[in-house]
Amino acid sequence: MTPERYQKFQQVLNRRQLDLTVITEDVHKPHNFSAIIRTCDAVGVFAIHAVNSRSSMPIYNQVAKGSEKWVACHTHTNIESAVSDLHQQGLKVYAAHLSKQALDYRMIDYTKPTAILLGAEKSGVTQKAADLVDGHIIIPMLGMVQSLNVSVAAAVILFEAQRQRLAAGLYERVHLAPDIYEQMMFEWSYPEVAASYRQQEKPYPRLGTKGEIIIS
């Protein structure tokens, strides 16, 4: 661990947004799932949520470029539990879904606690999911196609959220609780050592100002 890399980890964690997330519903293609994770990392999303009722979780591929190491993924057995969990955390959930009440995605205030629900590649979000959320959003299409690839849609919406949050100064303060911050710093800095400590059910040691392990 070099001081420069440790400082980079600090800069990234300082900007992680706890109340901005994504739910994927049966997004089963590894290429798309990996691209969504990569975008989440790029805009500072701390964790995403995945529901896969039709198959197992997609396997990360090269598109992620290692981003899966920096974005936690919480899995859910069904869409009801995923949406309920986020509602209990105080987030509003908006589905990318074409309906009569759907709003232009730019009309949403993403500075508020927000989750974006994205559906399967061909069929989109299920009607059950559409009925559970707080609202529907669309990306206006001016050409012949009616929708974007799911990973592209995720990027378009998330970077609008980033734009709004940057303007509101939400990336200028740390959102993580101190204990979670220290935990993530250790796991990012020393993943193999962290795995060993977890296996032994021992607490992580402290890190010094330059990222060195302090054994007391």
- Binding site residues, as ranges? 139, 148
Which residue ranges are tagged as binding site for S-adenosyl-L-methionine? 139, 148
Residue with structure tokens 């730019």?
Answer: 106
Measured between alpha carbons, how far is 216 from 214 in angstroms, rounded to an integer?
6
Instruction: Please answer whether residues 175 and 17 qualify as being in contact, where contact means their C-beta atoms are separated by less than 8 angstroms.
Output: yes
